[in-house]
Chains A and B, each alone.
Chain A
């Protein structure tokens, strides 16, 4: 059965906090919803880095732990 892009919300952990993900559960869609540019971030799902080339297809599933990082000021 193809991966559905149902609007039913799924519970995930996003950057350490519970997050209700509804709508398109693909990484690219989530980044878009969060107003994040793909060229400024890196993404991990369950400890595995998602290559940028996979953002359009990679789907987040219920219970997943997602980390989205970016660069900030530092020494």
Chain B
């Protein structure tokens, strides 16, 4: 069964793996990892320019906006107002109007402030942004965000950078079943099997950063993640067998030597 393209905000993509650009040792490693992953969409953060460093290279010198869809995030924002301001600034850089909306509610878990996320999403959608909100794995919040007009929902697997994988696959399955927009698992992925599980649950994509950048061999992990997402998606489309409590033999029960 051939796959349909991954459609997001009116654009078609081949890769269902979205990667972050943080935590790499330098821009060259970032670019190599992104290329190896096959990702076509990359997240970036929005920060003050370092004015004391002259003649500095920029991340976009390594990740050409003509080749990659740049997805600015609002990491570090704790209020709707901060997130909205960050999105407006990000759009002004001029590489598109897709944004990853993050409004953080707690410093230890980095879980989203759901109320503030909904509030910011309402404003941003009205201003014409294509909003991809990072959100808890709560089906109701995902429904609300889709109704507001977000172009996707991005429920977390586990806390950012935790590597724990999908903590609540049942909730993710419910979110997928009820989805009106693409579902992208974002945050907490640790290894390739976590990405495959997300895709087997029927998610449209997976977003990760630390799992690749923090691996002992980031380029190898980038490749593993690419394969994991493809394997999971292919398995999903193949239609898995049912889970059974008891065995059903794989070899014939007759013709035994006796």
Contact = CB atoms under 8 A, between A and B. Distances in A.
Interface of A: 14-16, 19, 34-37, 39-44, 49, 51-52, 67-75
B49 A73 contact: no
B48 A71 contact: no
Contact of A75 (B23, B59, B60, B89): B23
B43 A74 contact: yes
B94 A75 contact: no
Interface stretch (B68-76, B163-171, B237-245): B68-76
Contacts of A19: 51
Interface in B190-221: 208-210
20 contacts: A15-B51, A19-B51, A34-B54, A35-B55, A40-B93, A68-B48, A69-B48, A69-B49, A69-B89, A69-B90, A70-B47, A70-B59, A73-B21, A73-B22, A74-B22, A75-B20, A75-B21, A75-B23, A75-B73, A75-B187
Interface string B83-96: 00000111011100
Contacts of A41: 49, 93
A68 B49 contact: yes
A22 B24 CA distance: 37
A9 to B, nearest CB: 16
A74 B90 contact: no
A67 B88 CA distance: 13
Contacts of A72: 44-47, 59
Closest 8 CB pairs of A and B: A74-B45, A75-B209, A75-B20, A42-B92, A73-B21, A71-B44, A15-B48, A73-B22
Given A35-B55, A51-B92, A71 B22 contact: no
In this complex, the member of B46, B54, B89 whose beta carbon has the largest number of chain A beta carbons within 10 angstroms is: B89
Contacts of B88: 49
Contact of A40 (B30, B51, B60): B60
Nearest to B207: A75
A43 B73 CA distance: 17
Interface of chain B, main secondary structure: mixed
A43 to B, nearest CB: 8
B59 A73 contact: yes
B75 A74 contact: yes
B250 interface: no
A74 B54 contact: no
Contacts of B49: 15, 34, 36, 41, 68-70
B58 interface: yes
Contact of B58 (A37, A42, A74): A37
Nearest to A51: B92
Given A39-B94, A42-B93, A52-B94, A73 B23 contact: yes
Given A49-B92, A70-B47, A72-B47, 6 more contacts: A15-B48, A70-B93, A71-B59, A74-B22, A74-B43, A74-B45
